[in-house]
Each structure stands twice: as C-alpha cells, then as structure tokens.
C-alpha cells in the first residue's frame, strides 16, 4: 500500500485514537465540529490577505497552513471511519455529479454557484 | 497507482478545474472559504442531533453527508495543489507532533484541548 | 440611545476601524471570513463536551466563550456597515419568515431542517 | 425600549423557541454548531467574488446575505441566553482589550494577526 493511500492514513489515525481511548469522543457530531474548528483556523491565515498575497505566503506561514490542512484531513478521515463512509468512492461519485452539473463548455470561466445556473 | 491515492485524485481534480478555466478562481484564499462553506453544510446535518443519533443517520442522509465530505476533500486537495503543499507529508508530520503532545499514557480518556494540558 | 443598541455599537466599531485605517481590509468578503474564523474558535470550546457539559462550563471558559461571541458580533456589525444592511430589520424580517415556515402547532418539539418538512 | 435593542430581540427569540418547545435542542453546543452552519452559508455567497465584487452584489443577493446575517445574530442571541452571557457587556469588554492590543498609532494600516505582532 502506498504511503499516500487514504486507507493507510485512516488505519493509523484510528490506532492513534484507540490508544488514547478517544473514540468515545469521536461521534460524527463532534468530529464535524472539530473539522469546522480547524477550517476556522485555516481561514484566519488568509482573511486579511488579497488573493494574490494568499499565493505568496512565507515559508513559516505555509508550514502552519499545511498543519491546519493536515488537521482537516485527519478529522475528515476519522469521520469517514466513524460513519463507515467510503470517502474515495464519495469523491468519485461527487466528481461524476459535478461533470454533469457543470459541463465544461457551459461553465467555462464562470464560477457562479450551481443554484444560480438554474435561474 | 491505487484508486485511493491522493495524488491520483489531485490530478483529476486539477484537470476538472483547468477544463473549465476555473483555476483563476482557485486562489488559496477562495479555496479556504469554499472549504469552510462545505464544512458549514456538514454541520447542518448534525446540529440538532444527539451524538448517538449522529451515528444512526438514515441511508439518504448518509449519502448527503458523504457528498459534503467529498466536497471538503475536493477543496482541500485543490488548496494543496495551489499552495504546493504535500498534504500526505503534512499529515504524517502532524501525527508525529500529536504523538509527542498527547502521549497515550498521559491523555488516556481525556480530550481536553492541548492548551488546557499546559495550564 | 441605550447601551445595548446595535446602532451605538456599530458606530463605535466603525470609529475603531477608521482610527486604525483598517477599513481597507474590511471588504464584505474578508469580514465574512473573519466572522467564520471566530465561529471556528467558538466551536473548539464545545467540540468534545456533551450537550449537558456545554451548559456547565467553568467561569473562565465562559469568559473566553463570551469574548469569542463578542468577536462574532463585532464582525457581523462591521459587515452590516460595509454592506449597508440594516441588521435589525433583517432579523425582524427573518423572524416573520420563520413564523410562517415553522408554525408552532406544526413543529412543536421537532427541530428537523426546513427542507425536511417539505418532503 | 428601542427596536434595535438586543434585549428586546433576545426576548422575542426566546419566546419563539419556547412556543415551539425548541429549547430542548438549544444547548450551547448545538447553537454554536448552528451559528457556524449559517456562517458557512454566508461564506458561500462571497467565495468566488473579488473583494471589490463583494461590495457590489445585486439587490437580490444582498437580501439573501442580510437573511444569513440575521440567522447568525439569531443563534448568537440564543446562545447568549442559554449561557447567560451578557453579549453587550462582552463586546464592550472585548473592545477595551482590542484598544490596548492594537494601539492606533502602532497598527495603523496593518491588519496582521495579534499573535504576529508579538513576534
């Protein structure tokens, strides 16, 4: 199994939680909250930057951002484990939906929300 | 490359965005916002449920939750691509930090926030 | 004007931003991000607590939570100022909508999402 | 009591919840989640807009944004009620802290995060 496999990451994260007797706190409700909390921390890194500046962050800030992103993936994988959701299948399924909702020739260069296309 | 590889998913998502000329919207700042927006949708599924009920959602709701989770991973991978962050490395690096911050014997069964352990 | 007037708070917050030449950062987009960032911090206080424990937080934690809530109101008022939205009118308007969508006799004791009532 | 009084809004929102027997769902934990969910909806309105565009939204979009903002204030007031937090006092207290942390002459035109000033 390759190192970038979600299955492998998932197994390691579960073992970490089990070793600490933390699964009792890892209800889907709580994990969804923890995931959102980490997203809030991610936002704080970018909130006062211009879009251009958000590409040009310092090496230190990039490291901090990478760790916030890691936290998000960690909670997302924990949630998939606790709900028994196959996250990879879900992504491929959602990508198929998106291919239909947003045909390249129709939405090219236009990022309005899906609901706005239906108006 | 296995299907659950983040590298593979990443490449597909990038191709999807490029085909729609959507990379112009995919600044780190905007992607962090989109990621948080999806987390908000995830929260809404769980906000009035008890923790126990959050495990016992219907098949339909579980499908909806799986798709919100897919959206979160999609934007997280897009962000890693745009910032040139190696997400898998970031997770392993964060896990190493967490192993040190939360030794199993010290935090067993206790999920207080890290800052609270330092009091 | 009473001290708990939103108009009064709004004026003070605007003066604070102007004195620091911070209005240049206070675009609606950026303020929406800052607001969400503060909500993330609020979530972190409650994520591992049971609902019952979330009522019974310590005086110190309550003070921290109160300050996160203050930050949320601060950014919400800044946003209303920058977008020229009458927040009080918006609340009364939304309350009127909610009165119609959720007639007391129909939804008593049931907190499902609005969309689920329409199924 | 003036119409823009938070005390008055608070009383009306409480009556609305009580009439529906919804206080049973309004734990601080759940209300923090609902608040964040609404912030996520707010973000979605702005995520693909430039900062300039976020000032220039259409009347219809502005109405939708105003209602998301109303939802945020509604849940924030409900939370203050359930936790017995004096939100107005909290804002004045937080403003006093901010006056000290960010002296106008020091931070003029600079919006870095507080922690970054301490470096």
Average pLDDT over residues D64-82: 97
CA dihedral B9→B12→B14→B20, nearest 10 degrees, is: -140
Half-sphere exposure of C61 (CA within 13 A, CB side): 19
Strand ranges inside chain A, DSSP E: none
pLDDT digits (tens, 9 = 90+) for A55-81: 999 999 999 999 999 999 999 999 999
Name the residue with higher pLDDT: D46 or B5: D46
B59 touches chain A (CB under 8 A): no
**Residue D98, pLDDT above cutoff 90:** yes
Q: Which helix (H) or strand (E) holds C46?
A: helix C28-46
**Residue B33, pLDDT above cutoff 70:** yes
Q: In chain C, which among 73-102 make CB contacts under 8 A with chain D?
A: 73-74, 76, 79-80, 82-83, 85-95, 97-99, 102
Distance between CA atoms of residues D93 and C59, nearest Å: 16
- Average pLDDT score over chain C: 92
User: What integer pLDDT is reported at residue A114 of this predicted model?
Assistant: 64
User: What integer pLDDT is reported at residue B55 of this predicted model?
Assistant: 98
3-state secondary structure of C20: coil
CA dihedral A92→A18→B58→A97, nearest 10 degrees, is: -10
Tell me the pTM.
0.94
User: What integer pLDDT is reported at residue A111 of this predicted model?
Assistant: 80
ipTM of the assembly? 0.93
Average pLDDT over residues C77-99: 95
3-state secondary structure of D5: strand
**Residue B74, pLDDT above cutoff 70:** yes
Paired tokens of C119 = 């199924």
- Cβ atoms of residues C89 and D62 within 8 Å: no
User: C38: which chain A residues are within 8 Å (Cβ-Cβ)?
Assistant: 40
| Beta-carbon contacts of residue B99 (< 8 Å; ≥ 6 apart) | A16
Average pLDDT over residues D84-98: 94
Contacts 24+ apart (CB under 8 A), B110-118: B111/A22, B111/A25, B111/C48, B112/C48, B113/C44, B113/C48
Residue D84: burial class (beta carbons within 10 Å; 0-12, 13-18, 19+): exposed
User: What integer pLDDT is reported at residue D49 of this predicted model?
Assistant: 97
Residue entry with tokens 């919100």: B68
Give the pLDDT band (50/70/90) at residue D75: very high
User: What integer pLDDT is reported at residue B5 of this predicted model?
Assistant: 81
Average pLDDT over residues C78-102: 95
pLDDT digits (tens, 9 = 90+) for D1-42: 466 688 889 999 999 999 999 999 999 999 999 999 999 999
Distance between CA atoms of residues C39 and C45, nearest Å: 10
- Cβ atoms of residues C29 and D46 within 8 Å: yes
pLDDT digits (tens, 9 = 90+) for C39-77: 999 999 999 999 999 999 999 999 999 999 999 999 999
Strand ranges inside C34-77, DSSP E: none
**Which residue from B36, B43, B44 is facing D43, i.e. has the nearest CB?**
B36
- The residue of chain A nearest to residue C23, with distances taken between CA atoms, is A48
User: What integer pLDDT is reported at residue C5 of this predicted model?
Assistant: 81
- Average pLDDT score over chain B: 92
**Residue C115, pLDDT above cutoff 80:** no
**Residue B20, pLDDT above cutoff 90:** yes
User: A36: which chain D residues are within 8 Å (Cβ-Cβ)?
Assistant: 33, 36, 40
How far, CA to CA in Å, does B2 sit from each of A91, B15, B66, B80, C72? 14, 18, 21, 20, 44
Give the pLDDT band (50/70/90) at residue B6: confident
- Cβ atoms of residues D27 and D19 within 8 Å: no
- Cβ atoms of residues A109 and B21 within 8 Å: yes
pLDDT, one tens digit for every residue, chain A (119 residues): 466 688 889 999 999 999 999 999 999 999 999 999 999 999 999 999 999 999 999 999 999 999 999 999 999 999 999 999 999 999 999 999 999 999 998 899 888 766 666 54
- Cβ atoms of residues B5 and A2 within 8 Å: yes
Cα of D15 to nearest chain C Cα, Å: 11
- Cβ atoms of residues B107 and B117 within 8 Å: yes
Give the pLDDT band (50/70/90) at residue D119: very low
């Amino acid at each position: 199994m390759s190192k970038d496999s979600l299955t492998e990451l998932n197994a390691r994260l579960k073992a970490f939680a089990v070793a600490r007797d933390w699964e009792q706190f890892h209800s889907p409700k709580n994990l969804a909250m923890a995931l959102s909390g980490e997203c809030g921390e991610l936002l704080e890194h970018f909130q006062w930057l211009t879009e251009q500046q958000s590409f040009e962050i310092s090496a230190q800030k990039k490291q901090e951002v990478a760790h916030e992103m890691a936290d998000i993936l960690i909670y997302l994988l924990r949630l998939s484990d606790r709900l028994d959701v196959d996250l990879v299948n879900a992504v491929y399924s959602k990508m198929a939906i998106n291919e239909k909702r947003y045909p390249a020739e129709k939405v090219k260069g236009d990022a309005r929300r899906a609901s706005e296309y239906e108006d």
